[in-house]
Homo-oligomer: A and B are copies of this chain.
Amino acid sequence: MVYDLSVSECDEILRHERVGRLAVRDGEGTYVVPITYAFADNAIYGHAPMGKKVHLMRQWPQVSFQVDTIMNLSTWRSVLVQGRFEELRDEAGTFRARSLLVRASGGSLWGATSGHGHATSLADAVLFRIRAAEITGRAQNH
């Protein structure tokens, strides 16, 4: 049976997981990569080296982010966050992002790497958040 997840179930999955897939528009198509993230303030906090995904998000800030827990092909939960890319540049914003990402990565700055891209320390990375406009979830239990 496939069913919708409640807001609190989506929230729980977003807080529990550490890796999600960020999908950004790329011209007529899309670009999708795994990234480590932290979920707080109804936003996905992430970091990335200056590279393709940052360039794409600057051009097309309306992005989506997907997180799942897959036990097997017929038992899974998946959450979709749709929102807007927001680059963090001021001290308060970057401090908040770094703190959340360090905590999510288990306390190591260097452990917070950047998915499909180059490994980048938080100190060198572009810090951003995706403010959730809509969060929806689906699950199946066989």
Residues of A within 8 A of B (CB): 1-2, 18-19, 21, 23-34, 36, 60, 62-66, 68, 70, 73-74, 76, 78, 80, 82, 105-106, 111-113, 115-119, 138, 140
Contact = CB atoms under 8 A, between A and B. Distances in A.
Nearest to A22: B32
A68 B25 CA distance: 20
B60 A116 contact: no
Contacts of A113: 2, 73-74, 140
A80 B33 CA distance: 8
Q: Which of A23, A80, A82 has the most CB of B within 10 A?
A: A23
B105 A117 contact: no
Contacts of A117: 2, 138
